[in-house]
Amino acid sequence: MVLCGEKKNMLLEVKELHAGIDGKEILKGLSLQVERGEVHAIMGPNGSGKSTLSKVLAGHPSYEVISGKVLYEGKNLLELEPDERAREGVFMAFQYPVEVPGVSNSQFLRLAYNEKMKHTGGEELDPLEFNDYLKEKAKVVDMDPQFFKRSVNEGFSGGEKKRNEILQMAVLEPKLAILDETDSGLDIDALRIVAEGVNKLRNENNGIILVTHYQRLLNFIVPDVVHVLANGRIVKEGGKELALELEEKGYDW
């Protein structure tokens, strides 16, 4: 693959990224390019560095970048704080969404939405306006408005938590969404709802990175590019067929 920073649809360019946690290098020269309108799947066995990539892109403070570059819309993503990245349009759906007791889903989402609007010069919404907006967005993942009043993720089932992540994505309309093992722990019905939600949000202006261990999710969300991650590097790239090949042969080849 030729690295080329001039493409006008280029959303994310990761160049020779080395990163790790607690002094241990996990990503060992990872490169990746995502254009607007594309869905990329990053597949790999446990310990290959999938989650590290997600966390580094989102700006988790425990992870350390050793060398390499990450350009987002041509700008250095790594020098932005996690909240700045989010307001610039980067979103990560968590593998294990965090419970926030005492803070209602709608309150949390309105604050997040309005912070983004402040940043982008859009119109902030008052609680009533936001409630209407949220109801509309909740249809994306078929979510009952009862969940708006409940504390963020508190007492939610695994499937409800993942749907809530996609609801947040729908509300914040990111330009780059990283879905970290969104399929883990979901039964087939929940997986279908979540995947349909992502498909509805997929458009020509955003890029989506699906980080997953299993091919199963890719039956529902068809990727443009599949990357195989092993030992901290992309070792193979291909079209959607590559995922099927992996399913058959496993990661040992």
Partner 1 sequence: MTAQTAKQIHYAKALEALIHTAGAGELAELRRAAFRYFNETGYPSVRDEDWKYTNVAEIAKSEFNAVGLRGIDDLVHPELNEFNYKRNGFTALNLALADISKRTIPANQMIAEPIKIRASAVDAAMHAPHYIFVAEPGSESTILEIYESEARSFVNSALQIIVGDNACVTHYRVQKDSAEAFHYGVTEVTLGPHARYDATNITLGGAISRHDIDVKFTAEGGETWVDGLYMLNGSQHHDTHSLIDHAVPNCTSHQTYKGVLNDKSRGVFNGKVLVREDAHGTDAQQSNKNLLLSNEARVDTKPQLEIFNDDVKCSHGATVGQLEEEELFYLLTRGLPENLAKNLLTYGFAEAIIQKIGLDEIKADLDEAVLNRLDVKHGSLRI
- Contact status: 100 vs partner 1 (CB under 8 A): yes
Residue 94 touching partner 1 (CB under 8 A): yes
Taking contact as CB under 8 A, which single stretch among the options 113-121, 155-163, 189-197, 222-230 is the one that binds partner 1? Answer: 113-121
- CB nearer partner 1, residue 163 or residue 233: 163
Q: Which segment (27-35, 59-67, 156-164, 233-241) binds partner 1 by CB under 8 A?
A: 59-67
Binding mask 150-169 for partner 1 (x = CB under 8 A): -x----------------x-
- Least distance (Å) between residue 118 CB and partner 1: 9
Name the one range near partner 1 by CB under 8 A: 35-43, 112-120, 198-206, 230-238. 112-120
Contact (Cβ atoms closer than 8 angstroms) between residue 69 and residue 76 = yes
Looking at 8-16, 22-30, 91-99, 139-147, which segment touches partner 1 (CB under 8 A)?
91-99
Phi-psi region of 121 (alpha: psi -120 to 50; beta: other; left: phi over 0): left
Rounded CA Rg of the chain: 18
Q: Interface with partner 1 includes 58 (CB under 8 A)?
A: yes
Select from 36-44, 80-88, 211-219, 227-235 the region that touches partner 1 (CB under 8 A): 80-88
Least distance to partner 1 from the beta carbon of 4, Å? 29
**In whole angstroms, what is the distance from residue 134 CA to residue 152 CA?**
14
CB 237 within 8 A of CB 225: yes
Q: Does 59 bind partner 1 (CB under 8 A)?
A: yes
**Contacts with 219 (C-beta within 8 Å, 6 or more apart), sequence order:** none
- Is residue 112 involved in binding partner 1 (CB under 8 A)? yes
**Cα(19)–Cα(30) distance, rounded to whole angstroms?**
9
Report, in Å, the least distance between residue 12 CB and partner 1. 16
The correct pick among 74, 122, 127, 145 for binding partner 1 (CB under 8 A) is: 127
Is residue 83 close enough to count as binding partner 1 by CB under 8 A? yes
Q: From the list 31, 107, 184, 199, which residue makes contact with partner 1 (rule: CB under 8 A)?
A: 107
- By CB under 8 A, tell whether 97 contacts partner 1: yes
Residues 167, 193: Cα–Cα separation, whole Å:
11
Distances (CA, A) of 196 to 13, 96, 142, 183, 243: 27, 20, 10, 12, 19
With beta carbons less than 8 A apart as the criterion, state whether 164 and 186 touch.
Answer: no
- The yes or no reply on residue 207 touching partner 1 (CB under 8 A) is no
Using the CB atoms, write b or e for 120-146: b if 16+ within 10 Å: eeeeebeeeebeeebeebbebbebeee
